[in-house]
Structure 1
């Protein structure tokens, strides 16, 4: 929409402009499943009174001035334009079922039907710029809603913080959801601060400089020249337009915590990366046995929140323009290498290798560098070249991986208790994207694939589930010994 600029218009951030380019036009999908049938009147009433419609990003149109620069312009919200109601039941292929014939469906059938509905949305349904860039699709027969938000409105941390601010605990209708508590930083006293302490600080700083230089150089090369070797899961230029399939891998957080405790100073993200490495090796062994060489590198792209405060944010702080925990797309990118290994290895070796990689990444400023380099390219050369850089990086890597911590206990939205929350994005020039979100002691990973490259995402999901089970059994054997 091209309109003359007004004094009330607010220009988009560089990251927001990036996500509006045709090659990187990304929509975030949040799948919310309720325990009870959807009450449309309650849903619309909840939206009208929610904090969401008070936020300027959710009640603004995207407009472009005569020079092509994008701006946000405030506009009245018509809830009816944003809510799409699907009353008919869907089958596993995403087609409508003739309900007059009568049929029985299981929870697995429901999940497969919703997954295919979202997979189809991920390649065929961009958000209209005639209204603010969000929608809510309510699949009444499946007790499910799909919240679609354009990535230019904010990143996963911003949008999940918004969702949690509008939810309440299932056991207390007045209480906000409890999130994973942040670790408190322990500040050591002056005792022991001698020459050895100073040497340790200098050594830590030197390693940070070296790792930052190495990883930043790799980031630039991956964005311009170097690409992964071709495998059975490799995408590339144009793959974002191919048909998609969506599968779900399910885990227990207690299992991940048990494995985490087996290796000192390990995090859930280390366990996730070890599981992904093991699962991909198992899947590639199944698809292309005796073809790949031992230690083959497969590179992933991971998003890292670079706000000072980790995890989900206080929405009141996000909505203030003068706070460090600001709303928007405040994340950097790091490259995560995993390596193909044939079966028979100790399952915990995948975890130990993942921890070693992640520790080095944490000790560098790669995420901040990637954020700043993207911002610099956008400012100096414009969105065309920033988009080209980002698109090339995705083409030269194999998968995207993200992980967001959700509420600790079950919650309700618009008075309806939720049974699950899952997230993913629209398609990228990769054949494989994985997004994990934890909810009430469980974690579910949405695995979006280009189905002509990865025709069996359900089997890939089982590979990840089995990889975690193998690591758990290895820990239990070690504990018994």
Structure 2
């Protein structure tokens, strides 16, 4: 095997993170919802998927099996047939229902229809009535950065297919060569924050747990019925807050989550008189040598992309203060938290530490610790960067992209994805815990509106 490509005579071991996702308690799926401008052609999808996806990433033609020593491996399927993976849901005349039809369909998979191991672990669901395609992939295949890059490598710009797809971000500013004292200070901060955050992570893997709150999940919640709800923000509004606060997009998004949850908690727990309290969430961080979709996207076609699940966890502490009246204060808090996280090696420790525990103490114990961290925190958060302009797949313009996952023991799972001037936030919630995700969604919308108004008046 070379550069992640599996030959017909070869097999590849499943990555440590991939093995976690194959465990029954962490049988995690990735869902990518793609809505098109024109009617969807099933034969075109099959042809394009074979021409691009399967060409760039042959693991999609592999079965997940066990070798003679009982270790999980990817082995090329001798009977691969793309027809076994494409499912047409209804027909174009069904109509009606709008986006909620797709959201309910995705949420229904949380408690039904697991992917069988007799074929490669992915499916394409075509919903003609909504001009929508749902890509359903097992998380053991790869992480969000790799899969989004793979999708973009199969697309082209709608305005000018000859031009490259534009992704937000750019080169970092060159601040010159730092002095010896500055280097020493930076090293001390890395050591300090790494020790501090790794200790916090280990405590959450042991006994430290969030206090009960309106979004608390826990062991077994991954099997409960789910509901999917979407919120759409204008990227211009997010960038206005970002520029005003001298922050990053991630800072603003985490600030929106913190402020929105503070509002939701006040509505759901009006008798809670605590002035201050704290919950924690989990975020997945790309640990590739040159992280990010922009770099991965550029490496796919030359065969040097690092496939698989290459991410580590970081714990995000959110502190709520009833005395805070300005939502921008939560952006400041998010900026401080994420700034410290960037100066630590927490994500790399959790990735490599999990691999070492798995190697020396076994998959069962490593998975138990991983599962306990998720159970002891309250939510998960991720942000995927998408194209700045409208793109096409199969020469069909894409109206929106949305991403979500199941199944984790969190009752609240949030995924952001930016595309064509908008940011979509997917809320995957447990129905028996968060009964009214529409109220939660409104709290997030109100938070950004308040932030934007505060920026305009300052």
TM-score w.r.t. the length of structure 2 is: 0.94
Give ranges in structure 2 of 5+ residues lacking alignment: 1-7
State the shift of 1:54 in Å. Answer: 4.8
Question: What's the counterpart of residue 287 of structure 1?
Answer: 268
* 1:72–1:124 distance in 2 versus 1, CA, 3 Å: same
Query: Contact 2:62–2:75 at 8 Å: present in 1 too?
Result: yes
Question: What's the counterpart of residue 331 of structure 1?
Answer: 311
Q: Which runs of 4+ in 1 moved over 4 A?
A: 318-321
State the shift of 1:202 in Å. Answer: 1.6
Q: What is the alpha-carbon distance in structure 2 between the residues aligned to residue 306 and residue 185 of structure 1?
A: 21
Question: What's the counterpart of residue 111 of structure 1?
Answer: 99
Query: Contact 2:328–2:451 at 8 Å: present in 1 too?
Result: yes
Give ranges in structure 1 of 5+ residues lacking alignment: 1-5, 90-97
Structure 1 counterpart SS, 2:276: coil
Query: Contact 2:221–2:408 at 8 Å: present in 1 too?
Result: yes
TM-score w.r.t. the length of structure 1 is: 0.89
Query: Contact 1:164–1:176 at 8 Å: present in 2 too?
Result: no
1:200 to 179, 182, 204: 182
State the shift of 1:408 in Å. Answer: 0.7
Question: What's the counterpart of residue 472 of structure 1?
Answer: 452
Question: What's the counterpart of residue 220 of structure 1?
Answer: 202
Query: Contact 2:414–2:427 at 8 Å: present in 1 too?
Result: yes
Q: What is the alpha-carbon distance in structure 1 between the residues aligned to residue 14 and residue 300 of structure 2?
A: 16
Count of residue correspondences: 449
* 1:257–1:316 distance in 2 versus 1, CA, 3 Å: closer
1:347 pairs with 2:313: no
Q: What is the alpha-carbon distance in structure 2 between the residues aligned to residue 361 and residue 56 of structure 1?
A: 35
| Larger-gyration structure (1/2) | 1
1:87 to 62, 87, 90: 90
Q: What is the alpha-carbon distance in structure 2 between the residues aligned to residue 433 and residue 206 of structure 1?
A: 34
Q: What is the alpha-carbon distance in structure 1 between the residues aligned to residue 202 and residue 324 of structure 2?
A: 36
Deviations 1:426-456 (Å, cap 9, x if unpaired)? 1211100000000011000100000000011
Q: What is the alpha-carbon distance in structure 1 between the residues aligned to residue 271 and residue 147 of structure 2?
A: 44
Q: How does 1:3-402 map to 2 (within 5 A)?
A: 8-75=10-77, 76-88=79-91, 105=96, 109-188=97-176, 197-264=179-246, 266-291=247-272, 293-312=274-293, 313-315=295-297, 317-318=299-300, 326-342=306-322, 345-402=325-382
Q: Tell me the C-alpha RMSD between the 2 structures.
A: 1.9
Structure 2 counterpart SS, 1:296: strand
Query: Contact 2:110–2:223 at 8 Å: present in 1 too?
Result: no
Query: Contact 2:414–2:425 at 8 Å: present in 1 too?
Result: yes
State the shift of 1:474 in Å. Answer: 0.3
Deviations 1:199-237 (Å, cap 9, x if unpaired)? 222222111111110100000000111000001110001
Question: What's the counterpart of residue 94 of structure 1?
Answer: none
Query: Contact 1:116–1:245 at 8 Å: present in 2 too?
Result: yes
Query: Contact 1:318–1:327 at 8 Å: present in 2 too?
Result: no
Q: What is the alpha-carbon distance in structure 2 between the residues aligned to residue 377 and residue 318 of structure 1?
A: 31
Q: What is the alpha-carbon distance in structure 1 between the residues aligned to residue 442 and residue 354 of structure 2?
A: 36
Q: What is the alpha-carbon distance in structure 1 between the residues aligned to residue 443 and residue 336 of structure 2?
A: 23
Deviations 1:74-110 (Å, cap 9, x if unpaired)? 1253111010001258xxxxxxxx95xxxx84xxx41
* 1:293–1:217 distance in 2 versus 1, CA, 3 Å: same
Deviations 1:95-154 (Å, cap 9, x if unpaired)? xxx95xxxx84xxx4111111100111331221211111110001101111101111110
* 1:343–1:249 distance in 2 versus 1, CA, 3 Å: farther
Structure 1 counterpart SS, 2:292: coil
Query: Contact 2:150–2:300 at 8 Å: present in 1 too?
Result: no
> Which sits farther off after the overlay, 38-47 or 336-345?
336-345
